Amino acid sequence: MKNITKLFSIALVVLGFSTSSFAQTGVTATATTSVTIITPIAITKSIDMNFGNVAVNNTAGTVLLTPASLRTPSGGVSLPVVAGTVSAAKFTVTGLTGSTFAIVLPIAAITLSDGASHTMTVGSFTSTPTPTGTLTGGTQDVLVGATLTVAGSQVAGLYTNAAGLAVTVAYN
């Protein structure tokens, strides 16, 4: 019986070793980690917005300036034969070729002043393209128009805005 017990004990020990030798230990795999830093998107002003020469009688009115630099007067506003400099604002956007970007125009009107106490407002901004653009060859121009609101009997003079017309772009 002692031999059987010894044999049985040895068999258990051998079985124990064989079971543990078949047990799987942890396995590992690795992955490469990478990132590509792309060209930052940028915007620069190429041309300032200019409504040109505008005349007004005693009735208020507006001048719509399209992104194509075409003007349409309404109300008491008229456009004299000598137009002056007329231009929609032009911005050049640069970045990663083929990328699309969002265009954010001002929501609130901006105020133009003659440097004294006389003001007008510019609002209802529009752009071409809108509301997104594509960086073909890494660049695209954004043209911006707006509506100028003129008071009746507006005082003559050059009106400008000190804060500027802010246009924001961001990659989509």
d(CA 16, CA 164): 83
Domain ranges of the chain: 42-171
Checking if the pLDDT of 18 tops 70, the result is no
What are φ and ψ of residue 67, in 5° steps? -60, -20
Question: Residues 137, 110: contact at Cβ < 8 Å?
Answer: no
Query: Which position has the token pair 């609101």?
Result: 149
d(CA 95, CA 43): 9
Query: Tens of pLDDT along 92-119?
Result: 999 999 999 999 999 999 999 999 999 9
Q: Kindly indicate the confidence band of residue 43, based on its pLDDT and cuts at 50, 70 and 90.
A: very high
The pLDDT score that the predictor gives to residue 24 is 77
Query: Tens of pLDDT along 50-69?
Result: 999 999 999 999 999 999 99
The pLDDT score that the predictor gives to residue 150 is 98
Question: Residues 152, 76: contact at Cβ < 8 Å?
Answer: yes
- Name the strand (E) or helix (H) holding 3: helix 2-22
Options 3.10.20, 2.40.50, 2.60.40, 1.10.3470; CATH for 42-171 is 2.60.40
Query: Tens of pLDDT along 112-165?
Result: 999 999 999 999 999 999 999 999 999 999 999 999 999 999 999 999 998 899
Tell me what percent of the residues of the chain surpass a pLDDT of 90. 84
The pLDDT score that the predictor gives to residue 162 is 81
Checking if the pLDDT of 12 tops 90, the result is no
pTM for this entry: 0.81
Task: Tell me if residue 78 falls in helix, strand or coil.
Answer: strand
